[in-house]
Copies of this chain bind each other. A is one copy, B any other.
Amino acid sequence: MAAAHQLAFPMVMVNDADCKHLFDNRYGTGQSVWDGINRTTNLIVAGKNAVVAGYGWCGKGVAMRAKALGAKVIVTEIDPIKAIEAHMDGFEVMPMNQAALTGDFFITVTGCSHVINLEHMKKMKNGAILCNAGHFDVEIDMAGLRAASLSSIDQRKNIIGYEVRPGSFIYVLGEGRLVNLACGDGHPAEIMDMSFAVQAMSALYLVQHKDSLTDKLIPVPREVDQKIARRKLASLGLSIDVLTPNQEEYLHSSAI
């Protein structure tokens, strides 16, 4: 809408604030996704192959916790830079077409549609577990799966099995909706505080600067991000260093 000049008022891109994506997306999603999977499946994660589709901040969190639980992690990506990051973080990187063959758990965190499509699902091992922690229930092609499966079974609370080949079932958690919400309690309140602060402080900023702002997308001002972080630190009882005048001068000199 912004690109088409259709915004009727200034908007702050709160999802891009450091105090949002560096914390809520990574530590919140990372923990709550596996909380949702574990309490729903009661399967052991150690020794399994966990396929994480998408290596953005959420995907980084999900992959980090998968590894931490003892899984071997496979990352799929469309962005070459994120793919190399995943590789350097010690994860296998491959297309979903190939990952589909070996995954025990599949978690989509891309924001895109049909990241796991019918072709992928037909290849999966009997017993594979699928879930989504991205935007909506479109990351896994649920409609295609429902239409093409030979049978389905209500296996356990929040787990439906779909027969994708004769005698072979794959299991979808929470109907492909966000697994941490559908199969858990969502993010811990403690990790949402910074995200909500970004929204509140950004609204305040809009009001305070309404005369000088135009109907455009604006990033969360650095000062807002910093103020929220300083308050969070204080609430955690943590103090940090402060630049001395000499250090300020050094940093602004041409010496560096």
Q: A56 interface residue, CB < 8 Å from B?
A: no
Chain A interface size range: 35 or more
Q: Given the known A-B contacts A46-B27, A69-B31, A256-B111, are A239 and B95 also in contact in the complex, defined by CB atoms under 8 Å?
A: yes
Cβ-defined partner of A83 (8 Å) among B136, B189, B240, B244? B240
Q: Which of A81, A95, A233, A239 is packed against the most chain B CB atoms within 10 Å?
A: A81
Least Cβ–Cβ distance between A24 and chain B, in angstroms = 10
Stretch at the interface among A147-155, A165-173, A224-232: A224-232
A81–B225 CB distance below 8 A: yes
Least Cβ–Cβ distance between A116 and chain B, in angstroms = 11
B113–A246 CB distance below 8 A: yes
Mark out the residues of chain A between 210 and 256 whose CB falls within 8 Å of any chain B CB in the assembled complex.
Answer: 225-226, 229-230, 232-233, 236, 238-244, 246-247, 250-251, 254, 256
B95–A43 CB distance below 8 A: no
Instruction: Give A76-104 as 1s and 0s: 1 = Cβ < 8 Å from B's Cβ atoms.
Output: 11111101110111111111110000000
B77–A241 CB distance below 8 A: yes
A46 CB contacts on chain B under 8 angstroms: 27, 31, 88-90
A42–B188 CB distance below 8 A: yes
B38–A229 CB distance below 8 A: no
Q: Which of A71, A238, A240 is packed against the most chain B CB atoms within 10 Å?
A: A240
Cβ-defined partner of A247 (8 Å) among B23, B28, B81, B114? B114
A90–B247 CB distance below 8 A: no
Q: A68 interface residue, CB < 8 Å from B?
A: yes
Least Cβ–Cβ distance between A132 and chain B, in angstroms = 14
A1 and chain B: residue at smallest CB distance: B254
Cβ-defined partner of A31 (8 Å) among B38, B96, B138? B38
A81–B18 CB distance below 8 A: yes
Besides A31-B70, A78-B240, 5 more A-B contacts (Cβ < 8 Å) are A47-B90, A80-B232, A83-B238, A113-B247, A114-B244
Q: Which positions in A face B, CB cutoff 8 Å?
A: 1, 18-19, 22-23, 26-28, 31, 35, 38-39, 42-47, 65, 67-72, 76-81, 83-85, 87-97, 111-114, 135-136, 138, 184-185, 188-191, 194, 225-226, 229-230, 232-233, 236, 238-244, 246-247, 250-251, 254, 256
User: Can you report 11 A-B residue pairs in the complex whose CB atoms are below 8 A from each other?
Assistant: A27-B88, A35-B35, A35-B38, A42-B189, A43-B188, A65-B68, A67-B68, A72-B90, A78-B241, A78-B242, A135-B256
